[in-house]
Structure 1
Amino acid sequence: MSAAPDHGAPADPHVKDGVDDQASTVDFNVEAIENVLIEGPPALMARDLMSPFVWQEKDGRFGIMLRAVTKMGEAMTDTGVIWAGWSADGRHFSMHDTPAIVPGPDAHDAGGVEDPTVVRLSDGSYVVYYTGVLADMARGELSYATGPSLDRLTKAGVALASSKSEGNTKEATVEQTADGQWRLFYEYAADNASRIGLAIAPGVAGPWTEQATPFMPREHSWDNWHLSTGPLLTHNPDMPVMFYNGATRDARWRIGWVAFDRDCRHVVDRGIEPLITPPPVDDRTATDIAFAGSVVVVTGRIWLYYSLEDRRLARATIRRS
């Protein structure tokens, strides 16, 4: 993999180690952690579950899209299939009888479909960004599907292609800005590590224009090697917060947070320690991953949805202080 292009922003005298020292500080604490419970057909329940994207509809229901993968030790037929479902309480979900998005037949996602991100448009239709994995099951590109409902989605192709220096574009976080533009955070590969990129576009289908890299790994820290996109908390529009995923070189992933200015151009605060760490395990060779998927604010409560060990789902109640 060739080196990533230098998207660095001009130096700012008020910025030290990537954080604006003139900005107000913020902090978060975990108040409760619960398992997210999934009920569905045998084809789904036979798989491990990860990448939960949860949102709330206007009628109060909670929707979910997730990635279902073959269990460890079983023959891998694909890197993932995407299923959808609904819940009344945001914790117990009943899933559809059939998947919402499956691999193929086109080459760009013949190996698997991963990491769904749902955008609800003003006309009531859905756009679902997902990672389309090639048949080699090793490389992917950010793709998308559209439709009037979660069971009537039509694939629309590649949303953001992988370039020579930014391979494996995936893990979309998408929002519409105040001026009507669309902002896309995504993960890409560079220098044998994961990084977070940022792009803007006039619409959900692009074309996407690259922006300065939003933030980088920190030396001598839990996020010193890999970074991956997480969900945005935007109920305070002047200080949006991303619950991002960070890891060391050996890919022990934890969930942290970073706060931006209104336009997501500058970091104004960043947590020192991880917000969520996987529970301890006896076997040090076991999968050691907590990975954020989505965030929902319900009557003042912040619910952060994430996956553990790439096989099960959880929800943390977060308090902002």
Structure 2
Amino acid sequence: MPIDFNVEQIDAITMTGNQAVSCRDLMSPYVWRTDGGVYAMLVRAVPKPGETGDTGTIWYATSEDGLSFTATDTPILSPGPGAEDIGGCEDPTPVFRADGSVVIYYTGVDATRTHGEMLYATGPSIDRLTKRGVAMQNTPSQGNIKEATVDRTKDGGWRMFYEYARNEASLVGLAVSNGDAGPWTDAADPFSPRTDGWDSWHLSTGPLLTTDKTRPVMFYNGATHDARWRIGWVAFDAEYTKVVARCVEPLITPPPGPDRTGTDIAFAASVVTVDGQIWLYYSLADTHLYRAIIRQS
């Protein structure tokens, strides 16, 4: 059966908090709906352009409507004291367990601010985390592993999609495991850039829509060689062994800016289904957060 997606509505996301977070730009919004109906978000807060410091801290915020969020007073993950993330904490992805505990995958950046690795933390709740170290090791052929997207398949196995660097390009890798915290074993890359397309050079992971476990859909991020990022979608079979459908044109493109040489990035981070609607959360220009309401046809 054919599948397609279209954007029906776009709304800006706001987040209020103390000076430590309100003075920063926001990106990587991972939003979910709690059992109590409240919307929760993990978000990366970064120094504004021209400012020095870490590459990110990870904050927790809540909302009644999924649009206006209020942050806690302190980040849940901050740089250090270990060398693996002393430069910054980025790209949060939580995995919630049946007992209420949580695994959070995130990118740790070292002191040089140029080298990243996939790290993870665990805890009995989102505000009581212990850093556990490296979740996925970089290799000579896969560098700067980051941006985890995790799912349990219909048959019970675990899959982790991740972004990695090779030959001046970002690509999407896939790893398999019997548990939500690994160990993870590499599998074949799930999909590749398409020559002459909007996603001809760079790819990065995005959130998974799994309302149909027989055909999960990823809202992924793709770009040309000059890093003009857009959001598209790709559908897989139940065990993520093959692509069964993929968009031709991007689903979300940044609006034209006054400066053609400026940042040109739309980047998907999470998806929530609400009363039959698909809410896709993303960032623009690595500074502001948005929600798109998506229609599936």
Q: TM-score surpassing 0.5? A: yes
Q: Could you tell me how far apart the structure 2 residues matched to 1:166 and 1:303 are?
A: 32
TM-score (normalised: structure 1): 0.91
Deviation at 1:179, TM superposition (A): 3.3
1:293 pairs with one of 262, 269, 274: 269
1:113 pairs with one of 89, 93, 96: 89
Deviation at 1:103, TM superposition (A): 0.5
> What SS does structure 2 have at the residue aligned with 1:153?
strand
> What SS does structure 2 have at the residue aligned with 1:44?
helix
Residues 1:199 and 2:171 are matched in the alignment: no
| Cα offsets for 1:175-210 (capped at 9, x unmatched) | 122333211000000111000000111112211111
1:209 pairs with one of 177, 185, 191: 185
Q: Could you tell me how far apart the structure 2 residues matched to 1:88 and 1:162 are?
A: 39
Q: Superposition pairs for residues 93-112 of structure 1, below 5 Å? A: 93-112=69-88
Q: Could you tell me how far apart the structure 2 residues matched to 1:94 and 1:148 are?
A: 22
Q: How many residues align?
A: 297
1:245 pairs with one of 211, 221, 238: 221
Counterpart residue number, 1:63: 40
Counterpart residue number, 1:10: none
- Give the share of equivalent positions with the same residue, in percent: 60
Gaps of 5+ in 2: none
> What SS does structure 1 have at the residue aligned with 2:20?
helix
Q: Superposition pairs for residues 133-282 of structure 1, below 5 Å? A: 133-282=109-258
Q: Could you tell me how far apart the structure 2 residues matched to 1:175 and 1:105 are?
A: 30
| Cα offsets for 1:185-239 (capped at 9, x unmatched) | 0000011100000011111221111111100000111000000000000001111
Q: Could you tell me how far apart the structure 2 residues matched to 1:102 and 1:251 are?
A: 28
Moved over 2 A (4+): 177-181
8 Å CA contact 2:155–2:239 kept in 1: the answer is no
Gaps of 5+ in 1: 1-23
Deviation at 1:149, TM superposition (A): 1.9
Q: Could you tell me how far apart the structure 1 residues matched to 2:53 and 2:104 are?
A: 23
| Cα offsets for 1:161-188 (capped at 9, x unmatched) | 1111100010000012233321100000
TM-score (normalised: structure 2): 0.98
Q: Could you tell me how far apart the structure 2 residues matched to 1:87 and 1:176 are?
A: 27
| Cα offsets for 1:34-89 (capped at 9, x unmatched) | 00110111110100000000011111111100100000122x21111100111111
8 Å CA contact 2:150–2:160 kept in 1: the answer is yes
CA RMSD of aligned residues (A): 0.8
